[in-house]
Structure 1
Amino acid sequence: MIVDYQEITDFSKILIYPSGRKFYEKEQPEIIKKTNDFLESFTDVKFYFKFEYDRFLIFFIAEDTPLGLEQNEKIIEFIQQLEKDYKVSLIDKIKVFFKQGAYVQVKEVPDFKKMIKNRSITKKTIVFNNFISTKAEFDCCWEVPADESWISHFFK
């Protein structure tokens, strides 16, 4: 079931599925509807769902209704089906997602390192940390300067 954001506590689990490409405008309402319908099908787990920057599917799971193995498998199957339906990668979190101006970009790690070397990326470039695991981390640390992120060691 879907609940209000206020019902999601700081220690609630979060799952982030970053898309390797921006979803097209015509795809977005369909993806949001499919995701909301899917999450509503859970009667024993409380979710809050965000669709950010036209490419991140973010599931917040209320702390008082943790996911069991079966529910987790259902989510993975749903995400894999979205990958097939829209020909995107949503489970690959190793790519670097970052902001360049008003746009979210994605690069493989070696390409991102080259951009640092070429000074296209600075320590202040905003990077997305898709490895966070709680709402509190999301609120403070999902979008951070590169030198405070999981790729900070690339600047040394």
Structure 2
Amino acid sequence: MLVDIEGLEEDARVLIFPGDRKFYPEETEEVDKIMTALLAELPIRSFYKLFFDRFIVVILSSDQTFDISMNDQLIEVIQNFERKYNISLIDKVKVFFKQGEFIQSKEVPDFKKLIKNKSVSRGTMVFNHFVHTKREFEEAWETPAEESWISHFF
């Protein structure tokens, strides 16, 4: 059952599937339709949003049981998106960051080169896909590089 994000508790479980590129408008329509239908049918309170046409974010209530078959359904849908749209959504080891109004993704070695060349700084906004709860998502998903999992690269 879909609810607004405010309808979920602070420790609700967050799943983020970062796209290595933006979804095209026709793709976002289909992603929205499929994700909404899937989560509306689940017997658990959930929230979904496609942020920046790039990040599929699912938040699942922590006060209800989320069984493995629901997880399998969700992963199957995400993998179908990957195949259909030739997009990577499960690779969370890439660094996703803002450069002006654009969101970039780089492999870690390439991001380190950007640091060395001073193309990014400690204040560069990065996306932390390792957040686990709604509270962490709201407070630390978009964060300066110096406060993220890549801070040790500086």
User: Which structure 1 residue ranges, 5 or more long, are not aligned?
Assistant: none
Mean alpha-carbon deviation: is it higher for 3-12 or for 126-135? 3-12
Cα shift at 1:4: 2.1
Identify the residue that residue 15 of structure 2 maps to in structure 1: 15
Cα-to-partner distance string for 1:35-80 (whole Å, 9 max, x where unaligned): 10111121x1111111101100000101222311111111111111
SS in 1 for 2:79: helix
User: How many positions carry a matched residue from both structures?
Assistant: 154
SS in 2 for 1:115: helix
In 1, the alpha carbon distance for the partners of 2:56 and 2:114 equals: 26
In 2, the alpha carbon distance for the partners of 1:148 and 1:46 equals: 31
Identify the residue that residue 146 of structure 2 maps to in structure 1: 147
Cα-to-partner distance string for 1:73-98 (whole Å, 9 max, x where unaligned): 11111111111111111000000000
SS in 1 for 2:92: coil
Identify the residue that residue 25 of structure 1 maps to in structure 2: 25
Task: Give 1:92's aligned amino acid.
Answer: D
TM-score (norm 2): 0.97
In 2, the alpha carbon distance for the partners of 1:66 and 1:120 equals: 45
CA-atom RMSD in angstroms: 0.9
TM-score (norm 1): 0.95
In 2, the alpha carbon distance for the partners of 1:85 and 1:46 equals: 28
SS in 1 for 2:25: coil
Identify the residue that residue 2 of structure 2 maps to in structure 1: 2
1:62-73 matches, cutoff 5 A: 62-73=61-72
Cα shift at 1:26: 2.2
In 1, the alpha carbon distance for the partners of 2:3 and 2:55 equals: 19
Identify the residue that residue 51 of structure 1 maps to in structure 2: 50
Task: Give 2:85's aligned amino acid.
Answer: Y
SS in 2 for 1:138: helix
1:29-44 matches, cutoff 5 A: 29-42=29-42, 44=43
Task: Give 2:141's aligned amino acid.
Answer: W
Cα-to-partner distance string for 1:80-137 (whole Å, 9 max, x where unaligned): 1111111111000000000000111000000000000000010000010001000000
Cα-to-partner distance string for 1:19-42 (whole Å, 9 max, x where unaligned): 011111222111111110111121
Query: Structure 1 vs Structure 2: percent identity of aligned residues?
Result: 47
Task: Give 1:22's aligned amino acid.
Answer: K
Task: Give 1:144's aligned amino acid.
Answer: T
